[in-house]
Amino acid sequence: MSQGSKIVIKDFSFYYDSVQALQNIGLDIQPKQIFTVFGPARSGKTTLLKSLNRLTDLIFGTSHTGTILLDGMDIYDPELSLTQLRRRIGIVFDLPIPLPMSIFDNVAYGPKLSGTNRRNRLNEIVEKALRSAVLWEEVKDRLHTSALRLSGGQQQRLCIARILALEPEVLLLDEPCSGLDPISTASIEETLRKLKEEYTIILVPHNIQQASRVADRAGFFLNGELIETGPVFQIFTRPKDKRTEDYVTGKFG
């Protein structure tokens, strides 16, 4: 199964000081699929996502054991360029956080960091990214106004566009629709279905319904443990583990 996997997580545990947030996780993520990581609050979903592009490094006092491989390469290899890793594995947070600059500058932020400064090239990148995030038509006439003036749903699609401008290989989405209205949610889900054709996506869903609508495979997390994984259809209709079944049917959560 690990043949052709985009990401392989082996026996991965993660600690905040002495508190264990993830316990011996083992997981294969296939390319060009949406894998959904679901479970109740504080089950380690966000920690898993942030471990994958090492944003957890920013938090003082964390440690881990086990390995995570991206295309067979250890992401905790000291030789590895952290900025490169974060370009290959992009993340979208649960709340949209536009930087206090124009729409254009938000999307161009990542490419500029890596030294892309030619105006024509940046224009192309920004337009392509905004089109992919299905935001272009709404903002094309006001690219140079502040991103803070966009609506919540637009801001979240802007955050997706900002990541896409880096042309990453993997997209991590941490409840990208929390706090959004159903119409914005539908348009983001539509965006995800399109993006799946090119990207490997790991999604922490807003709710189980969302997971079943967009994902191909799912993994159920509980208290830092991966309880079971499988195709979405099977997990949500015939889970093997009693705890998964209880959660999916709404007995707790």
Partner 1 sequence: MAALSTIAVMILILFQILREGLPVLNLHFFLNSPKNMGREGGIFSTIIGTFALTGVAILVGAPLGVGTAIFLREYTRESKISRIIRFGTDCLAGVPSIIFGLFGFVFFVIRLNMGWSILSGGLTLAAMILPTIISTSEESIRAIPPSYREVSYSLGGTKWQTITRVILPSALPGIFTGILLSVGRSIGETAAVILTAGSSLVMPTSLVSPIRTMAVHFYILAREGISKDMAYGTGATLILLVLIINMIAQWLIGRYIRHRT
State the residues that interact with partner 1 by CB under 8 A. Answer: 53, 55, 58, 60, 83-84, 86-87, 90-91, 93, 95, 97, 99-101, 109-110, 112-114, 146, 148-149, 162-163, 166
Beta carbon nearer to partner 1, 1 or 58 = 58
Smallest gap from Cβ 188 to partner 1, in A, equals 18
Q: Are strands 62-70 and 89-92 parallel, antiparallel or unpaired?
A: unpaired
Q: Do 28 and 5 touch, CB atoms closer than 8 A?
A: yes
DSSP count for the chain of H helices, then E strands? 10, 10
Beta carbon nearer to partner 1, 149 or 240 = 149
Beta carbon nearer to partner 1, 98 or 239 = 98
Please tell me the distance from the alpha carbon of residue 35 to that of residue 61, in angstroms, as a whole number: 29
Smallest gap from Cβ 22 to partner 1, in A, equals 19
Strands (E) located in the chain? 7-16, 19-29, 34-38, 62-70, 73-74, 89-92, 170-174, 200-204, 217-222, 225-231
Quickly count: other Cβ atoms within 10 Å of residue 92's Cβ.
Answer: 24
Smallest gap from Cβ 28 to partner 1, in A, equals 24
Smallest gap from Cβ 109 to partner 1, in A, equals 6
Beta carbon nearer to partner 1, 85 or 186 = 85
Beta carbon nearer to partner 1, 28 or 105 = 105
Specify the residue for token string 């199964």: 1
Please tell me the distance from the alpha carbon of residue 92 to that of residue 72, in angstroms, as a whole number: 24
Smallest gap from Cβ 163 to partner 1, in A, equals 7
